[in-house]
């Protein structure tokens, strides 16, 4: 079974631009979560989608948004990029989408904002 | 509020020596705990989980953890580490029904 796939692996953007990151979950997994990982803040929850519905959202500004498609693939978008948005963005899928269901992570997209 | 605390940001250990990575939690509801590992340039993968039952939980790669309710701890242990164990280790606690709260991570460095 293929794992969680995130594309692209690396991105370099300029302040003020916007970016879209993609995540393909493990086949059969209906829940997709997004996390931001930085050296200073660690792993912070962005949002979680289950069957195309956003069920939970972390404490991030409205510039961060996401969506999930009917095939469970998910995208997240960051508009008006700031230097502080430089981070590793991790996507994780799970079967049941509860806090008890193990998360399967992709290798991440490393975003650098200059 | 629910939270996890990893007291050690970095732990250097000689190869074949034992290691313990510490995790303490705070929760007002039923406790479920996870340890994840992140190898360089990769995402996280599940090492082990405590949901209920035996307080000693065995995971992959020879790791185990013990749930201690009185000390609110879930420390990760391995009796003999290898170079391949070099990674960052995260303790995590479910928060609400759909997400995990992660600790700040412990970077394990194996010294040959």
A96: Cβ contacts below 8 Å, ≥ 6 apart = A31
The predicted-structure confidence for A52-101, as pLDDT tens digits, reads as follows 999 889 999 999 999 999 999 999 999 999 999 999 999 999 987 676 78
pLDDT value for B54:
86
A33 → chain B, closest CA residue:
B99
At residue B41, does pLDDT exceed 90? no
Check whether B96 has a pLDDT greater than 70.
Answer: no
pLDDT value of position A65: 97
B48-57 CB burial, b ≥16 within 10 A, e <16: bbbeeeeeeb
What is the length of chain A?
Answer: 114
User: φ, ψ for residue A64 (rounded to 5)?
Assistant: -95, 120
**What would the mean pLDDT of B66-86 be, rounded to a whole number?**
96
Q: Which of A25, A99, A101, A102 to mutate to test the interface with B (most CBs of B within 10 A)?
A: A99
* Chain A residues interacting with chain B (CB cutoff of 8 angstroms): 4, 6, 31, 33, 35, 42-43, 45, 48, 50, 55-56, 58, 90, 92, 97-100, 102-108
User: Would you state the pLDDT for residue B19?
Assistant: 98
If you measure CA to CA, which chain A residue comes closest to B96?
A: A99
The pLDDT, as a whole number, for residue B97 is 60
For residue A5 the two structure tokens come to: 């796939």
Overall average pLDDT of the A16-32 stretch:
96
Contact A88, A109 (CB under 8 A): yes
Question: Whole-angstrom Cα distance, residue A73 to residue A27?
Answer: 10
Instruction: Identify whether the C-beta of residue A4 lies closer than 8 Å to the C-beta of residue A106.
Output: yes
């Amino acid at each position: 079974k293929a794992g969680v796939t995130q594309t692209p692996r690396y991105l370099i953007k300029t302040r003020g631009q916007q970016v879209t990151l993609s995540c393909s979950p493990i086949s059969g997994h209906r829940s997709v979560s997004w996390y931001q990982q930085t050296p200073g803040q660690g792993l912070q929850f962005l949002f979680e989608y289950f069957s195309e519905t956003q069920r939970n959202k972390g404490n991030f500004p409205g510039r961060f948004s996401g969506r999930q498609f009917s095939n469970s693939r998910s995208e997240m978008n960051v508009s008006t990029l700031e230097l502080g948005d430089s981070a590793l963005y991790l996507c994780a899928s799970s079967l049941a989408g509860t806090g008890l269901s193990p998360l399967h992570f992709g290798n991440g997209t490393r975003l650098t904002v200059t | 509020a629910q939270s996890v605390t990893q007291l050690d940001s970095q732990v250097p250990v000689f190869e074949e020596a034992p290691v313990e990575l510490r995790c303490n939690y705070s929760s007002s509801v039923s406790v479920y705990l996870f340890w994840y590992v992140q190898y360089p340039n990769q995402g996280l993968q599940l090492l082990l989980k405590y949901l209920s039952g035996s307080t000693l939980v065995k995971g992959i790669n020879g790791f185990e953890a013990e749930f201690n309710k009185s000390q609110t701890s879930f420390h990760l242990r391995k009796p003999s580490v290898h170079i391949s164990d070099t990674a960052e280790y995260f303790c995590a606690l479910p928060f609400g029904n759909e997400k995990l709260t992660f600790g700040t991570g412990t970077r394990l460095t194996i010294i040959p």
